[in-house]
């Protein structure tokens, strides 16, 4: 993004809070995927994940918040195309936007870097991390009885030391499957942290796990 994360922060700071959500005191985090072409133009914005908070309880994200997040990133500051071997290329970024009804503010989830030069990387790659999870995962008995299947997606903050912290289910299937993914995630080993200018920075990692009854 032109101006980097600071430009995005200033843009969001001036954005109005969705009135319907403000009146309902609806807060939450919306994860927006932004596809940028090789010219730096927004090709597509979409959102399949998010978590809402209303009256102190976790709930589904309010549609008005999701729509606001999509509009903000579709019409926001310009983007800089990605680079590969000195040539412009298409890229995709995931932006977690935090809506806080109490203060009527919109921001990036505090403390994390959105555009590190090197993203956080599990030892052996994402496939190795998912394989490790599969080895530790137990299909909950209640979910088996109910024939419950689907994909649970976790948001994890990655510390400067590579620790996976603050796990949050942003795409839920059922309480039993969500709880099992959280249980296993709590014992996962550190990953290689994100880097900016050769220095580790706090970032985030999205971890999907699919439950399937064969």
The predicted-structure confidence for 168-181, as pLDDT tens digits, reads as follows 999 999 999 999 99
Q: Is residue 100 exposed (0-12), middle (13-18) or buried (19+ Cβ within 10 Å)?
A: middle
| Mean pLDDT of the residues in the chain | 92
Where residue 141 sits, what CATH number does that domain have?
Answer: 3.30.2420.10
Total number of domains constituting the chain: 2
What are 94-115's pLDDT values in tens digits? Answer: 999 999 999 999 999 999 999 9
What span, in angstroms and rounded, lies between the C-alpha atoms of 82 and 87?
A: 8
- Kindly tell me if the per-residue pLDDT of 83 is higher than 80: no
From edge to edge, which strands make up the β-sheet containing 91-100?
Answer: 57-59, 42-54, 26-36, 91-100, 105-108
What span, in angstroms and rounded, lies between the C-alpha atoms of 153 and 29?
A: 14
Provide the residue range defining the domain that includes 176: 126-211
What span, in angstroms and rounded, lies between the C-alpha atoms of 200 and 161?
A: 7
Where residue 58 sits, what CATH number does that domain have?
Answer: 3.30.1150
In a domain, 115, yes or no: no
Instruction: Identify whether residues 89 and 25 lie together within a single domain.
Output: yes
Instruction: Identify whether residues 138 and 104 lie together within a single domain.
Output: no
Q: Where is the domain boundary, 66, 81, 108?
A: 108
pLDDT at 70: 96
Instruction: Identify whether residues 92 and 9 lie together within a single domain.
Output: yes
pLDDT at 189: 94
Instruction: Identify whether residues 16 and 101 lie together within a single domain.
Output: yes
Instruction: Identify whether residues 10 and 98 lie together within a single domain.
Output: yes
Alpha helical stretches, state H, the chain: 4-13, 19-23, 63-74, 126-136, 141-145, 175-185
pTM: 0.87
Q: Where is the domain boundary, 42, 77, 108?
A: 108
What are 21-74's pLDDT values in tens digits? Answer: 999 999 999 999 999 998 888 999 999 889 998 877 788 899 999 999 999 999
Lowest mean pLDDT among 79-88, 126-135, 203-212: 79-88
In a domain, 121, yes or no: no
What b/e readout covers 168-179, taking b as 16+ CB neighbours within 10 angstroms?
bbbbbbbebbbe
Instruction: Identify whether residues 94 and 134 lie together within a single domain.
Output: no
C-alpha separations of 85 from 36, 82, 88 in Å: 18, 10, 9
In a domain, 119, yes or no: no
Cα torsion through 40, 119, 46, 174, rounded to 10:
180
pLDDT at 47: 93
Instruction: Identify whether residues 59 and 155 lie together within a single domain.
Output: no
- According to DSSP, the residues that pair with 108 across neighbouring strands are 97
What span, in angstroms and rounded, lies between the C-alpha atoms of 66 and 46?
A: 9
Mean pLDDT to the nearest integer, 152-161: 96
- Kindly tell me if the per-residue pLDDT of 2 is higher than 80: no
């Amino acid at each position: 993004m032109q101006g980097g994360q600071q430009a995005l922060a200033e843009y969001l700071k001036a954005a109005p809070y969705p009135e319907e959500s403000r009146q309902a005191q609806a807060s939450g985090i919306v994860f927006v995927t932004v596809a940028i072409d090789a010219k730096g133009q927004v090709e597509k914005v979409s959102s399949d994940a998010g978590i809402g908070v209303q009256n102190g309880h976790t709930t589904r994200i309010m549609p008005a918040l999701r729509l606001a997040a999509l509009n903000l990133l579709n019409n926001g500051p310009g983007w800089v195309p990605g680079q590969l071997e000195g040539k412009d290329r298409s890229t995709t970024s995931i932006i977690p936007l935090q809506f806080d009804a109490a203060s009527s503010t919109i921001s990036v989830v505090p403390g994390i870097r959105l555009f590190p030069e090197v993203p956080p990387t599990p030892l052996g790659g994402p496939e190795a991390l998912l394989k490790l999870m599969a080895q530790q995962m137990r299909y909950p008995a209640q979910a088996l009885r109910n024939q419950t299947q689907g994909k649970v997606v976790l948001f994890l903050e990655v510390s400067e030391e590579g620790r996976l912290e603050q796990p949050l289910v942003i795409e839920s299937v059922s309480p039993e499957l969500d709880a099992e993914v959280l249980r296993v995630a709590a014992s996962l080993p550190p990953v290689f942290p994100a880097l900016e200018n050769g220095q580790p920075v706090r970032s985030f990692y999205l971890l999907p796990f699919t439950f399937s009854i064969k």
